[in-house]
Amino acid sequence: MLIHPQFNPIALDLTRFGIPVQIHWYGITYLVAFGLFLWLARLRVRKPWFADAGWTARDVEDLLFFGVLGVVLGGRLGYVLFYKPAFYLANPLEIFSVWKGGMSFHGGLLGVTAAMALFGWLRKRSFWDVTDLIAPCVPTGLASGRIGNFINGELWGRFADPSLPWGMVFPQSGSPLPRHPSQLYEFGMEGVLLFALLWWYGSKPRWAGQVSGAFLMGYGCFRFIAEYFREPDSFLRDLPATTGLSMGQWLCVPMIVGGALVWAWATRRARPVGSTGARA
């Protein structure tokens, strides 16, 4: 049985030197996520079918700007609407208290989707051409975020069998019993494994929409599995008992179904990404 190391959430405290700045590990994981996106997306635009369609490194930088706005605004609004609508309806000013926590991946996904649609409209590019470019570059950012969750000792897992070698006690949970380190499960599944699969799948020309559909299906399936090991939020603990699924799993169902429909539609429609008209 392991015990969570209880990391200091502040990675660098400059207040000791008279500088009013504290750099948190969570902020660093966001920077790592954005840096990985830039690097990977720049590699993607060098692919012949993207380069021939006119994609450049400058486009990647602009995509990151749009994506950051989508993540922050969509993630916060998603948490407000999906998880605690009654609380925020009664306390609307709390919506802006982002420093107190509360972000939703599914809301962030919707926000990024809207941002990419806006980018495509402004640049006169197909929505699917945009999302097929960025989809394989997203899981590394998710992996970085899960490391941040683990460092902060948040979003811990459900209780585990005491004999589980990697069962971990999270003192901040208020219980001395071992739990699943679900943050690391999600790091491995929706981060590393999903990245490997999508990077491989997207390494050859695909019909427009196929890579995006594969991302939706892949993330939805891996997150759905991880939810069996992740402790539900305290205000949603009755939901699995009454419906059989957690809120995270309910939000994954339309992702999986929608991803499958997008992939099937893209395969049947058979329109090449960009302008190459080729498919390996």
pLDDT at 101: 65
Tokens of 269: 């429609």
Q: Is 206 annotated as contributing to ligand binding? A: no
pLDDT at 94: 80
Counting beta carbons within 10 angstroms of the beta carbon of residue 90, is it exposed (0 to 12), middle (13 to 18) or buried (19 or more)? exposed
One-letter identity of residue 169 = V
Residues 6+ apart with CB under 8 A from 245: 227, 239, 253
What is the DSSP track for 38-89?
HHHHHHHHTSHHHHTTT--HHHHHHHHHHHHHHHHHHHHHHHHHHT-HHHHH
Tokens of 4: 């969570």
Beta strands in the chain (DSSP E): 2-3, 10-13, 22-24, 168-169
Along the 280 residues of the chain, how does pLDDT read in single tens digits?
899 999 998 898 888 888 888 888 888 998 999 999 999 999 999 999 999 999 999 999 999 999 999 988 888 888 888 888 888 888 888 877 766 667 787 888 889 999 999 999 999 999 999 999 999 999 999 999 999 999 999 889 999 999 999 999 999 999 999 999 999 999 999 999 999 999 999 999 999 999 999 999 999 999 999 999 999 877 777 888 888 899 889 989 999 999 999 999 999 987 766 644 433 3
pLDDT at 93: 81
pLDDT at 98: 65
pLDDT at 103: 75
φ, ψ of residue 160 in degrees (nearest 5): -115, 160
